[in-house]
Amino acid sequence: MKYLITGLGNIGYEYDGTRHNIGFEAVDYLCKTLQGEWQGNHHGDLAEVKFKGRTLILLKPNTYMNLSGKAIRYWLQKEKINIENSLTILDDLNLDFGKLRLRAKGSDGGHNGLKSIQEVLATDAYPRLRIGIGSEFSKGKQVNYVLGKWTEDEKAELPHILEQCTTVIQALVTLGFARAMSATGK
C-alpha cells in the first residue's frame, strides 16, 4: 500500500520557522523519525519511507502555498496513488495552538493551499490534517501572524505537536481513517 503525505508550506529561508510552514515541519519530523532522506524533485522535495509494510511518499511542494494542488496532482498521478491514500498537512488559525483535526473532506476554510488543491483536483474530498496555530493577532494582522515566527513558548511545544502528528499519520496508514481520528482526540 502506498500513500502520499504532503506538508504544506512556502519555500525560502524567510519562511523557515513560521506558523504557515508547520506542514513542512510535520513531514520533516516524520521523515527523520522513519530515517528518510529528502531529494529535490519535480514540484518539490520528496522522500520515500517505509512504515509497517506501507510506502509513504513524503512531499514538500516547491510551488508556494497557493499552487500546492499542482504538485499534489502530479505526484498522485506519477505514483498512481488514489486520493483516499493521500494526506495534506497544514496550519489552521481557527484551531487553538497545538490542536489537531483530521478530516476526510471539507471546505478550504480560507486557506490558500487547500483552495489550490480543491481547484486542481476538482473535489474537496481528500484527507487533511489541520494543525492549530492559534489566533493571537490583532484585527488586520492575520497575514503577519501566519507568516510570523514561532514564539519561544510555541517552539518549546513543537516537538510534542510534531510527535502527535507522526502518531496520527502512522495510525492512518496502518489502522485506517476512523481509528486515526481517535488519535487526534476528535
List the alpha helices (DSSP H) in 62-176.
Answer: 68-78, 112-121, 142-146, 152-175
Residue type, 164: Q
Q: What is the dihedral of CA 145, 150, 154, 158, to 10 degrees?
A: 120
pTM: 0.94
Residue type, 60: K
User: Catalytic site residue 20?
Assistant: yes
Q: Give the pLDDT band of residue 72 (cuts 50, 70, 90).
A: very high
Predicted pLDDT of residue 143: 86
Catalytic hit among 20, 43, 111, 160:
20
Predicted pLDDT of residue 186: 52
Q: What is the dihedral of CA 64, 67, 71, 73, to 10 degrees?
A: 160
Element (H, E) at 132: strand 128-132
Q: Number of structural domains, the chain?
A: 1
How far apart CA 95 and CA 99 sit, in angstroms, is 6
Domain harbouring 138, CATH code: 3.40.50.1470
Predicted pLDDT of residue 109: 86
Range of the domain at 64: 2-183
Note the pLDDT tens digit of each residue in 83-105: 999 999 999 999 999 999 999 99
